[in-house]
Amino acid sequence: MELFDKLYNCYYTAARHILEAAASRPVGRQEMEHLCRSYGFQETFLSLIPKLTGGPVPLLKKEKDGFRSVLASPPPKLPLTSLQKAWLRALLEDSRFALFFDDDEIALLRQSLSGVEPLYREEDFRYFDRFADGDPYEDPGYRSRFHTILTALEEGQVLLISYEGKGGRIRHFEIFPCQIQFSSKNDKLRLLGLARFRGFFSRKSILNISRVRDCRLSSERPAVSPGRFRFRPVKRAKEPVLLSIGGERNSLERCMLHFANYEKHTEYDEEQGRWLCSIYYDTADETELLIDILSFGPVVEVLGPEPFLAQVRERVCRQHQLLWGNLEPTPPSQSGPG
């Protein structure tokens, strides 16, 4: 089974969409270029359109108002490849797969894929630094609540949620769901949504799905477009954290890899002989970023912004006092959780 195969080429995908459109009506060059950009790369139209309209075997024929497909019907959905089946077969053994289907459906999928060897097995992997308190994906209650949340998200419905907050206190929310966030490191799913606030679904909220104790669908379908809240930071920090990296202990590469999931900008300062890296982050992740930077020790230096730097200073000085000073062993109190 070949992973790098022309069958998965995005030119084929773009061509399929063009042929679908051209099955029932003539398609103009502009529309073809648009489809090439939507499903292919930036310059795909330059070589794909001439191949479809000319070349040794044109798949489109010229008509008065544009181009029509030479095919008898719109391109059919092609059968799954062995690689795709093998990947789906591997997913059947993933505990998270059961979140999307009930037991009967999983049995049917298992039957449909019987005889297919999985592409990989869960036991082939060891996730050595994954947090130990991951979500209970196989718990029937968790599955049921996830299913309700997913339905609300797909249908644009409001959720009535009972949520266990800090100290075990149960709170009740009305949430319009926008997305579900997954973190591989935390092994957790979170609901991102808008909570009702002063009558409107306006307050951005993040809820751990494992702490949802009860959730029900409301019949309310507010006129909110979730699209503008999807794939967006909850609250972006005003300024990026600026790091100076000398390269000692392979810190440059380690840093670049460690913070690769953030948007960042790096440049080399010839005068200092050091790299300057700006990391853009969500304020909700500030403590996580702070402790990640501290974990690099002295091979990475925080230059700013001042409030972030103050937190680093406070922890470093506190550490010095705990080891070499005469302070009572009380922990820092102003630097937030972490």
Partner 1 sequence: MQEFQELIKNFSRVRDYMRQFFIYGFKSRADFGEKSSRTYDNERRRIESWLSPWVASGYTARGKQVSITVDSMQVPENPLYAAWKSKGFTDNDLALHFLLPDLLTSHPQGLAVSQLCDFLAAEYGALFDSQTVRLKCREYETAGMFLSSREGKRVTYRLAQPLEAETTPLWKRMTAALSFFQGAAPFGFIGSTLLDRENASNRLFQFKHQFIVHTLEDGILAQLLDAIQSRSQITCEYKSSRTGRGASLSGIPLKIFVSTQTGRRYLCYYQPDFRRLNTARLDGIVSVTVTGPAPAFEQAMAALHRNESRCWGVSFGKQTGRQETVAIRIAIDEATEGHILHRLEREGRGGEVSKIRDGEYLYYATFFDTNEMLSWIKSFTGRILDIQGTNETDIQKLIRDWERMYRMYGPHTP
The footprint of partner 1 on residues 261-320 (CB under 8 A) is: 261-268, 270, 275, 280, 282, 291-292, 294-298, 301-302, 309, 312-320
Site residues (CB under 8 A) for partner 1, limited to 162-201:
179-187, 192
| Structure tokens that stand for 228 in this block | 């503008």
Of 150, 138, 135, 133, the closest CA to residue 98 belongs to 138
d(CA 27, CA 15): 12
State which of residues 11, 33, 66, 157 lies at the interface with partner 1 (CB under 8 A).
11
Angle of the 29-39 helix axis to the 44-53 helix axis, nearest 10: 130
Least CB distance to partner 1 at residue 223 (A): 18
Neighbour count for residue 161 (Cβ, 10 Å): 27
Residue 127, interface with partner 1 (CB under 8 A)?
Answer: yes
The whole-angstrom separation of Cα 215 and Cα 171 is 12
Q: Site for partner 1 (CB under 8 A): which residue of 29, 65, 95, 131?
A: 131
Q: Are 66 and 53 in contact (CB under 8 A)?
A: no
Closest to 254 in 3D by CA, of 210, 212, 291, 299: 299
Q: Hey, CA dihedral for 334, 277, 270, 253, is it positive or negative?
A: positive
Residue 17 Cα to chain centre, angstroms: 26
111 binds partner 1 (CB under 8 A): yes
CB 176 within 8 A of CB 226: yes
Q: Does 223 bind partner 1 (CB under 8 A)?
A: no
CB of 107 to partner 1, least distance (A): 10
Contact call for residue 70 and partner 1 (CB under 8 A): yes
Q: How many residues bind partner 1 (CB under 8 A)?
A: 138
CB of 58 closer than 8 Å to CB of 24? no
Q: Which of 82, 144, 225, 272 binds partner 1 (CB under 8 A)?
A: 82
CB of 316 to partner 1, least distance (A): 4
Does 213 sit near partner 1 (CB under 8 A)?
no
Range 134-163, binding partner 1 (CB under 8 A): 150, 153-154
Residues 233-252 binding partner 1 (CB under 8 A) are 233, 250, 252
Closest distance to partner 1 from the beta carbon of 199 (Å): 27
Single out the residue of 196, 204, 211, 258 in contact with partner 1 (rule: CB under 8 A). Answer: 258
Taking CB under 8 A as the criterion, the residue among 79, 168, 199, 273 binding partner 1 is 79
Residue 290 beta carbon to partner 1: minimum distance, rounded to whole angstroms: 9
Decide whether 199 or 227 has the Cβ nearer to partner 1: 227
- Please, which contacts does 237-241 make with residues 24 or more away whose CB atoms are closer than 8 Å? 237/280, 237/281, 237/282, 237/283, 237/286, 238/305, 239/304, 239/305, 240/264, 240/265, 240/278, 240/279, 240/280, 240/281, 241/278, 241/279, 241/281, 241/289, 241/293, 241/302, 241/304, 241/305, 241/308
Residue 204 in the binding site for partner 1 (CB under 8 A): no
Q: Which is nearer to partner 1, 199 or 273 (CB)?
A: 273
CB of 198 to partner 1, least distance (A): 26
